[in-house]
């Protein structure tokens, strides 16, 4: 029973309070509070150097926090070395022991805790990751995807309270990465352990995680479910880093109940729901109005009359198009904002929509969000690419 | 099997500062403990002896009455005046042997790195294996190979090569043994693996596609070698030449076994002054000068080659 | 025309093989002359075939004693230098500490120093201390010059080792000692073995430093040196040939074992 005791069936959430890390004068992680619910799949998302890996390593015990505490359930583990924490890690590039075979790699943690009969558990674990036939191979004889699964098995067999994954799919090619995303999700659902997953790939985070913390420059920018973050980005960084956003500089000119009216350069009037604006909305306030490229529709200027009333409209001219199969991407220059991006489904393609054509972009005002204009409008664009 | 809620090996969680700080302080001393015995050994048996040697070199006295430090720097001057031919000869022989090692060793290193295919390991073994026979025995074998009237000398003589080398002062008469040529042959032979292995290591790292890329960009094989391969193998060339030059400059085994009184190198002089003549100050001064010259040459060379992180 | 093109194309191969022949020729001579029955005291010119020396390898007075002494010193020096050198290498790669520069120089210098200088200076130390020259002074000297080579060999291996492997071990419930024994040491082993082999070879074959600091003790290289003056027994060639063959055998067996192990692992 000892082995299950350390795995904490009573468990609980992972709570970071005021945790920060400083290397010399470089503040890698600003003091942050974070709670990860037991059994959830949590992603720390951000560009390289944003402090996400450092945060993960502080939970693992591989890095000592400068300030703050790490709690697993009610237990303070801040001062514990990694080998005394009921937490296991899947390392970037896996860190499989090259001198041990797959079986011994997976059995490593059990053996270190003095468990003698490991055969059954190791067998089950290898079956879970579908590598039962590879037990006696050396890590370097396995493909990248197989090594990745061994790394997961080696960590999971210890039934940790929390499994930490540090860019676990970074070394795989795109197709395999997609496959492994589903695989990891399946394993997580099957074993029900809390997963904390560090990644720089926003698509990966959105596919897999129940909730995501977007990090930038050692700070958590925003925390929420994937859908919430995507639909209601709280900062320009999140708006640009998660997917693509068209951000338009405007000024508030009026308010009608729940709807705010703003005016962009050229006098173009747009409306957005007050509830979706995170910035102050008094008259004369500057606001960045955002809309996702796939929410916009594009019509040729000749058809402007057929656009239903009540939709936000922006006139412009097509600067470029690129055909990508399921959709076509248009780049539209407008007086309101240069370089607006629009994705149109390829249902009925309008032959007139070629570079140089005058068009009207229109969308449901409900799909518009507002951000404070005091931020860098391009924040997160570099990081996302 | 107890149903505790904490792992069996976990100490009571204090979450406080004291245990962590103690661990940190202990951790900070670890490297010093690791270094201590080895570094102490090097200090006591490498550095301190150099100091003793420096002090011996400025002593005067005799074996019977003992030696005293008298700051007698005249010893250096006298030693240089008396033994500068051996000094210059040592540096010359070492330089020639190093150059020969480079010229002779490069093709073999290149062959093993790029052209050996599945025979690569075999060739490497053949390069290293001779090492396992004591180098003195192998050097003595050169006495047989270069023996007067032997096939090698016979060939060189009938091909009139010995006439040329004799004219250059490398050999005398119809002999190779007991001439500079024999000594340099022995030096080159003995230190060749020290040239080949670093060369091979740096050549082996070169991506084969670079050769193809150079060929694709209109470089002939020779240009490829000059502009791509050789520059990229420079770290190996630098460390190889150092590993050959340093030991050959102080060597006296080859000069003694294969040479004559006219090919005496500075190592022989130091050895006989120390072990036979028992003139310790002169021997120490000579040794000190040799050290200074070699260190100067090495530093200058490494600076020029711009690979200070090399060794 | 075709022949000259063939030569040009294979110039590197030809030159390389000529060099290889140059390197191996003396070993061949040593081997052949181990079957010689020389006329005089010196075994430099061929007389006629004989197995005498092979039948009594210890037939030359003092040879086997010196060989045993050399082996003994080489084993002790290798053990000590490997332990001390490995410790230094780990400190250099794995820790930050003050004085890294001087430590690096101190390790580099013995390799950049002509042997005769180290030999002479060590002798001045022993003379000044009034130490009795012999087994212990030789051993001290050998440990000293082998140390740096071990450091270089082990350092290279540890440097190329992913520090995440040790983190992974600690993450998987291995404490500091367990991490070292179960992960660090096995992965660093090839470097340590390489350093040890190099130490053994250097110590066993050392002549110059030993010659200065041996007093009246005679190691195998010193025995050969002495015999070059007094007369070379054929048994020297027997020992030289045997060492060569044993070394080649070890390499070949090692290669076969490692390749078979690789194969069986791949097919299991």
Between CA B298 and CA B239 the distance in angstroms is 10
How does DSSP classify residue B124? H
Do residue A97 and residue C167 have CB atoms under 8 angstroms apart?
A: no
Q: According to the model, what pLDDT value does residue C261 have?
A: 65
Cβ A61 vs Cβ A82: under 8 Å: yes
How does DSSP classify residue A28? E
Which chain C residues contact residue A133 at CB under 8 A?
A: none
Planar angle of CA A377, A383, A384, nearest 5 degrees: 90
The reply to whether C22 touches chain B by the CB within 8 Å rule is yes
Closest CA relative to residue B287, chosen from C129, C133, C124:
C124
CA-based nearest distance B163→chain C, Å: 23
**Fold designation for A245-384:** OB fold (Dihydrolipoamide Acetyltransferase, E2P) (2.40.50)
Q: According to the model, what pLDDT value does residue B19 have?
A: 39
CATH code, residues A2-231: 3.40.50.300
How does DSSP classify residue A138? -
The pLDDT of A229-235, averaged and rounded, is 91
* Whether residues C207 and C253 fall in one domain: no
Q: Render pLDDT for C19-68 as a digit per residue (tens, 0 to 9).
A: 999 999 999 999 999 999 888 888 888 888 988 889 888 888 899 999 99
How does DSSP classify residue A235? S
Which chain A residues contact residue C167 at CB under 8 A?
A: 62, 82, 89, 91, 95
Q: Render pLDDT for A73-104 as a digit per residue (tens, 0 to 9).
A: 889 999 899 999 999 999 988 999 999 999 99
B309 pLDDT exceeds 50?
no
| Mean pLDDT rounded to a whole number for chain C | 90
B20 pLDDT exceeds 80?
no
pLDDT band at C182 (very low <50, low <70, confident <90, very high): very high
Which chain B residues contact residue C27 at CB under 8 A?
A: 129-130, 133, 138, 141
Q: According to the model, what pLDDT value does residue A385 have?
A: 55
Q: According to the model, what pLDDT value does residue A129 have?
A: 87
From the CB of residue B1, how many other CB atoms can be counted at a distance below 10 Å?
Answer: 7
Between CA B163 and CA B157 the distance in angstroms is 7
Between CA A94 and CA A166 the distance in angstroms is 9
B16 pLDDT exceeds 50?
no
The pLDDT of A135-147, averaged and rounded, is 91
Cβ A316 vs Cβ A361: under 8 Å: yes
From the CB of residue A24, how many other CB atoms can be counted at a distance below 10 Å?
Answer: 5
Crossing angle of helices B280-305 and B74-110, in 10° steps, is 40
Supply φ then ψ for residue A55, to 5 degrees.
-60, -45
B2 pLDDT exceeds 80?
no
The reply to whether A244 touches chain C by the CB within 8 Å rule is no
Q: Residue A55: which residues within 8 A CB-CB, separation 6 or more?
A: A16, A19, A21, A29, A32, A34, A44, A198, A215
Between CA A173 and CA A133 the distance in angstroms is 24
* Whether residues C219 and C243 fall in one domain: no
Q: Per the structure block, which two tokens stand in for A149?
A: 């699964």
Q: Render pLDDT for C207-239 as a digit per residue (tens, 0 to 9).
A: 999 999 999 999 999 999 999 888 889 999 999
| Mean pLDDT rounded to a whole number for chain A | 89
B283 pLDDT exceeds 90?
yes
Q: According to the model, what pLDDT value does residue B282 have?
A: 93
Cβ A371 vs Cβ A247: under 8 Å: yes
* Whether residues C102 and C114 fall in one domain: yes
Overall domain count for chain C: 2
Do residue B13 and residue A5 have CB atoms under 8 angstroms apart?
A: no
Say if C46 falls within a structural domain.
no
* Whether residues C125 and C102 fall in one domain: yes
Cβ B59 vs Cβ B67: under 8 Å: yes
Q: According to the model, what pLDDT value does residue A5 have?
A: 35
Give burial (CB, 10 Å; 0-12/13-18/19+) of A327: middle
Closest CA relative to residue A340, chosen from A370, A369, A361, A310:
A361
CA-based nearest distance A66→chain B, Å: 11
SS (H, E, C) chain C: CHHHHHHHHCHHHHHHHHHHHHHHHHHHHHHHHCCECCCCCCCCCCCCECCHHHHCCCCCCCHHHHHHHHHHHHHHHHHHHHHHHHHHHHHHHHCCCCCHHHHHHHHHHHHHCCHHHHHHHHHHHHHHHCCCCCHHHHHHHHHHHHHHHHHHHHHHHHHCCCHHHHHHHHHCCCCHHHHHHHHHHHHHHHHHHHHHHHHHHHHHHCCHHHHHHCCCCCCHHHHHHHHHHHCCCHHHHHHHHHHHHHHHHHHHHHHHHHHHHHHHHHHC
Do residue B35 and residue C88 have CB atoms under 8 angstroms apart?
A: yes
Instruction: Give start and end residues of each alpha helix (H) in chain B.
Output: 17-42, 48-57, 74-110, 120-128, 135-145, 151-158, 161-168, 180-204, 208-216, 221-224, 230-232, 234-250, 253-258, 266-272, 280-305
Cβ B199 vs Cβ B239: under 8 Å: no
pLDDT band at C6 (very low <50, low <70, confident <90, very high): confident
| Mean pLDDT rounded to a whole number for chain B | 85
Between CA B299 and CA B176 the distance in angstroms is 35
Q: Which of residues 84-103 of A touch C (CB under 8 A)?
A: 84, 87-89, 91-93, 95-99, 101
What is the pairing mode between strands A259-264 and A26-36? unpaired
Which chain B residues contact residue C85 at CB under 8 A?
A: 38
pLDDT band at B18 (very low <50, low <70, confident <90, very high): very low
CA-based nearest distance C101→chain A, Å: 22
Helix (H) or strand (E) holding A125: helix A119-128
Q: Which of C109, C116, C220 sits opposite B287 (nearest CB)?
A: C116
* Whether residues C141 and C254 fall in one domain: no
Do residue A80 and residue B1 have CB atoms under 8 angstroms apart?
A: no
CA-based nearest distance B9→chain C, Å: 10
Do residue A88 and residue C172 have CB atoms under 8 angstroms apart?
A: yes
Which chain A residues contact residue C164 at CB under 8 A?
A: 91-93, 95
Which chain A residues contact residue C168 at CB under 8 A?
A: 89, 91, 95-97
Between CA B177 and CA C179 the distance in angstroms is 59
pLDDT band at A227 (very low <50, low <70, confident <90, very high): very high
Supply φ then ψ for residue A246, to 5 degrees.
-90, 120
CATH superfamily of B74-305: MetI-like (1.10.3720.10)
Hey, is B240 helix, strand or coil?
helix
Say if C48 falls within a structural domain.
no
Which chain A residues contact residue B19 at CB under 8 A?
A: 79
Helix (H) or strand (E) holding A302: none
Do residue C171 and residue A98 have CB atoms under 8 angstroms apart?
A: no
The reply to whether A323 touches chain C by the CB within 8 Å rule is no
**Residue C260 belongs to what domain range?**
236-268
Q: Render pLDDT for C82-113 as a digit per residue (tens, 0 to 9).
A: 999 999 999 998 888 888 999 999 999 998 89
Cβ C164 vs Cβ A93: under 8 Å: yes
Here the ipTM equals 0.90
Q: Which of residues 132-151 of C touch B (CB under 8 A)?
A: 140-141, 143-144, 147-148, 151
Helix (H) or strand (E) holding A16: strand A14-23
Supply φ then ψ for residue A153, to 5 degrees.
-60, -40
The pLDDT of B188-208, averaged and rounded, is 91
Helix (H) or strand (E) holding A339: none
* Whether residues C243 and C156 fall in one domain: no
The reply to whether C12 touches chain B by the CB within 8 Å rule is yes
From the CB of residue B260, how many other CB atoms can be counted at a distance below 10 Å?
Answer: 16
CA-based nearest distance C220→chain B, Å: 9
Give burial (CB, 10 Å; 0-12/13-18/19+) of A66: middle
Between CA A297 and CA A270 the distance in angstroms is 15
Between CA A94 and CA A248 the distance in angstroms is 43
Q: According to the model, what pLDDT value does residue C262 have?
A: 58
Between CA C215 and CA C117 the distance in angstroms is 17
From the CB of residue B112, how many other CB atoms can be counted at a distance below 10 Å?
Answer: 25
Q: Residue B180: which residues within 8 A CB-CB, separation 6 or more?
A: B93, B169, B170, B171, B259, B263
Do residue C173 and residue A158 have CB atoms under 8 angstroms apart?
A: yes
* Whether residues C175 and C63 fall in one domain: yes
pLDDT band at A355 (very low <50, low <70, confident <90, very high): very high
Q: Render pLDDT for C112-122 as a digit per residue (tens, 0 to 9).
A: 899 999 999 99
For residue B93, CA distances in Å to A161, B96, B184 come to 71, 5, 6
Which chain C residues contact residue A62 at CB under 8 A?
A: 167, 170-171
pLDDT band at B311 (very low <50, low <70, confident <90, very high): very low
Which chain A residues contact residue C162 at CB under 8 A?
A: 93, 95
Q: Render pLDDT for C195-208 as a digit per residue (tens, 0 to 9).
A: 999 999 999 999 99
Do residue A88 and residue C175 have CB atoms under 8 angstroms apart?
A: no
Do residue B7 and residue A79 have CB atoms under 8 angstroms apart?
A: no
* Whether residues C91 and C185 fall in one domain: yes
Q: Looking at residue C111, which CATH number applies to its domain?
A: 1.10.3720.10
From the CB of residue C202, how many other CB atoms can be counted at a distance below 10 Å?
Answer: 20
How many Å is the maximal CA-CA distance in chain A?
79
Between CA A44 and CA A14 the distance in angstroms is 14
Q: Render pLDDT for B208-258 as a digit per residue (tens, 0 to 9).
A: 888 888 888 888 888 888 888 898 898 899 989 999 999 999 999 999 999
Cβ A51 vs Cβ A28: under 8 Å: yes
* Whether residues C116 and C221 fall in one domain: yes
Mutate to test the interface with B, among A5, A19, A63, A71 (most CBs of B within 10 A): A5
* Whether residues C111 and C172 fall in one domain: yes
Q: Which of C164, C165, C174 sits opposite A112 (nearest CB)?
A: C174
CA-based nearest distance C268→chain A, Å: 7
* Whether residues C207 and C260 fall in one domain: no
Which chain C residues contact residue B138 at CB under 8 A?
A: 26-27, 30, 240
The pLDDT of A3-23, averaged and rounded, is 70
* Whether residues C148 and C268 fall in one domain: no
A303 pLDDT exceeds 60?
yes
Q: Per the structure block, which two tokens stand in for A257?
A: 């109940």
- Give the N- to C-terminal CA distance of chain A in Å, as an integer: 48
Q: According to the model, what pLDDT value does residue B307 have?
A: 53
Residue with tokens 């009969």: A117
Q: Render pLDDT for B88-129 as a digit per residue (tens, 0 to 9).
A: 999 999 999 999 999 999 999 999 998 888 888 888 888 888
CA-based nearest distance B5→chain A, Å: 5
Do residue C167 and residue A141 have CB atoms under 8 angstroms apart?
A: no
| All structural domains of chain A with their residue ranges | 2-231, 245-384
Do residue A82 and residue C167 have CB atoms under 8 angstroms apart?
A: yes
From the CB of residue B207, how many other CB atoms can be counted at a distance below 10 Å?
Answer: 9
| All structural domains of chain B with their residue ranges | 74-305
Q: Calculate what percentage of chain B has a pLDDT beyond 70.
A: 89
- Which stretch of B256-270, C2-16, C110-124 has the lowest confidence by average pLDDT? C2-16
Crossing angle of helices C100-108 and C135-159, in 10° steps, is 120
CA-based nearest distance C88→chain A, Å: 23
List residues bridging with A373 in a β-sheet: none
Q: Render pLDDT for A148-158 as a digit per residue (tens, 0 to 9).
A: 999 999 999 99
Between CA B23 and CA A80 the distance in angstroms is 11
Do residue A2 and residue B13 have CB atoms under 8 angstroms apart?
A: no
C1 pLDDT exceeds 90?
no
Hey, is C268 helix, strand or coil?
coil
Do residue C171 and residue A82 have CB atoms under 8 angstroms apart?
A: yes
């Amino acid at each position: 029973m000892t082995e299950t005791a350390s795995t904490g069936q009573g468990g609980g959430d992972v709570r970071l309070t005021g945790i920060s890390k400083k290397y010399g004068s470089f503040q890698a992680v600003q003091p942050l509070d974070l709670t990860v619910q037991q059994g959830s799949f949590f992603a720390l998302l951000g560009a390289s150097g944003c402090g996400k890996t450092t945060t993960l390593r502080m939970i693992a015990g591989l890095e000592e926090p400068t300030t703050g505490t790490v709690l697993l359930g009610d237990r303070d583990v801040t001062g514990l070395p990694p080998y005394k924490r009921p937490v296991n890690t899947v390392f970037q590039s896996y860190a499989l022991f090259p001198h041990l075979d797959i079986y011994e790699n997976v059995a490593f943690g059990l053996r270190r805790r003095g468990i003698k009969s490991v055969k059954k558990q190791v067998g089950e674990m290898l079956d879970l990751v579908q590598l039962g036939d590879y037990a006696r191979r050396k890590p370097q004889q396995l493909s990248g995807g197989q090594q990745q699964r061994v790394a997961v098995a080696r960590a999971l067999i210890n039934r940790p309270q929390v499994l930490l994954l540090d860019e676990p799919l970074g070394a795989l090619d795109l197709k395999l990465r997609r496959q492994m995303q589903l695989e990891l999700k399946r394993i997580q659902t099957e074993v029900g352990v809390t997963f904390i997953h560090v990644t720089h790939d926003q698509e990966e985070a959105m596919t897999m995680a129940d909730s995501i913390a977007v990090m930038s420059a050692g700070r958590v920018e925003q925390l929420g479910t994937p859908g919430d973050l995507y639909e209601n980005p709280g900062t320009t960084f999140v708006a640009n880093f998660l997917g693509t956003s068209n951000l338009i500089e405007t000024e508030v000119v009026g308010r009608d109940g729940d709807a705010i009216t703003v005016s962009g350069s050229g006098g173009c009037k747009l409306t957005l729901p007050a509830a979706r604006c995170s910035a102050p909305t008094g008259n004369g306030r500057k606001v960045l109005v955002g809309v996702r490229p796939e929410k916009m529709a594009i019509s040729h200027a000749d058809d402007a009359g057929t656009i239903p009333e009540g939709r936000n409209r922006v006139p412009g001219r097509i600067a470029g198009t690129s055909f990508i199969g399921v959709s076509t991407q248009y780049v539209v220059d407008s007086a309101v904002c240069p370089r607006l991006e629009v994705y149109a489904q390829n249902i009925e393609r309008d032959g007139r929509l070629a570079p140089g054509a005058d068009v009207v972009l229109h969308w449901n005002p409900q799909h518009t969000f507002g951000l404070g204009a005091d931020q860098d409008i391009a924040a997160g664009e570099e990081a996302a690419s | 099997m107890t149903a505790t809620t904490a792992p069996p090996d976990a100490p009571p969680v204090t979450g406080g500062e004291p245990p962590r700080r103690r661990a940190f302080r202990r951790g900070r001393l670890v490297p010093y403990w690791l270094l201590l015995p080895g570094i102490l050994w090097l200090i006591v048996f490498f550095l301190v002896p150099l100091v003793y040697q420096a002090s011996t070199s400025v002593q005067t006295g005799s074996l019977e009455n003992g030696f005293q430090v008298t700051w007698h720097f005249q010893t250096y001057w006298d030693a240089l005046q008396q033994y500068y031919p051996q000094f210059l000869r040592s540096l010359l022989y070492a330089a020639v042997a190093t150059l020969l090692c480079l010229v002779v060793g490069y093709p073999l290193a290149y062959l093993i790195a790029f052209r050996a295919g599945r025979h690569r390991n075999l060739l490497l073994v053949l390069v290293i294996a001779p090492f396992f026979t004591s180098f003195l025995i192998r050097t003595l074998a050169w006495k047989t190979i270069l023996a007067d009237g032997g096939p090698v000398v016979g060939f060189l003589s009938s091909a009139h090569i010995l006439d040329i080398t004799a004219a250059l002062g490398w050999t005398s008469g119809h002999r190779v043994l007991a001439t500079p040529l024999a000594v340099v042959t022995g030096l080159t032979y003995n230190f060749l693996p020290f040239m080949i292995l670093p060369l091979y290591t740096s050549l082996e790292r070169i991506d084969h596609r670079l050769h193809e890329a150079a060929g694709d960009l209109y470089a002939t094989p020779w240009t490829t070698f000059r502009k791509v391969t050789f520059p990229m193998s420079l770290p190996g060339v630098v460390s190889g030449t150092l590993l050959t030059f340093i030991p050959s400059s102080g060597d006296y085994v080859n000069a003694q076994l294969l040479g004559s009184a006219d090919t005496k190198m500075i190592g022989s002089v130091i050895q006989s002054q120390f072990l036979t003549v028992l003139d310790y100050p002169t021997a120490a001064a000579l040794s000190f000068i040799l050290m200074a010259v070699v260190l100067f040459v090495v530093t200058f060379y490494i600076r020029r080659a711009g690979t200070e992180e090399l060794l | 025309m075709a022949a000259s093109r063939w030569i040009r194309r294979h110039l590197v191969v030809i030159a390389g093989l000529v060099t290889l022949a140059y390197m191996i020729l003396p070993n061949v001579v040593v081997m052949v002359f181990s079957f010689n029955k020389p006329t005089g005291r010196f075994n430099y010119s061929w007389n006629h075939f004989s197995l005498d020396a092979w039948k009594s390898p210890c037939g030359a007075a003092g040879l086997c004693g010196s060989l045993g002494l050399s082996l003994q010193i080489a084993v002790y020096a290798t053990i000590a230098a490997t332990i001390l050198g490995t410790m230094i290498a780990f400190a250099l790669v794995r820790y930050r500490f003050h004085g890294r520069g001087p430590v690096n120089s101190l390790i580099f210098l013995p390799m950049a120093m002509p042997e005769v200088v180290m030999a002479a200076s060590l002798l001045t130390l022993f003379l000044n201390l009034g130490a009795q020259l012999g087994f212990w002074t030789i051993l001290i000297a050998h440990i000293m010059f082998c140390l740096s080579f071990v450091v270089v060999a082990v350092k290279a291996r540890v440097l190329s080792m992913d520090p995440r492997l040790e983190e992974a071990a600690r993450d998987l419930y291995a404490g500091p000692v367990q991490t070292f024994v179960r992960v660090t040491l096995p992965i660093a082993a090839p470097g340590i073995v390489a350093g040890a082999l190099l130490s053994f070879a250097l110590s066993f074959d050392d002549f110059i430093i030993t010659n200065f600091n041996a007093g009246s003790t005679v190691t195998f290289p010193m025995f050969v040196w002495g015999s070059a003056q007094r007369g070379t027994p054929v048994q020297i060639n027997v020992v030289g040939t045997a060492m060569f063959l044993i070394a080649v055998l070890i390499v070949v067996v090692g290669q076969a074992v490692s390749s078979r192990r690789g194969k069986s692992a791949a097919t299991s």
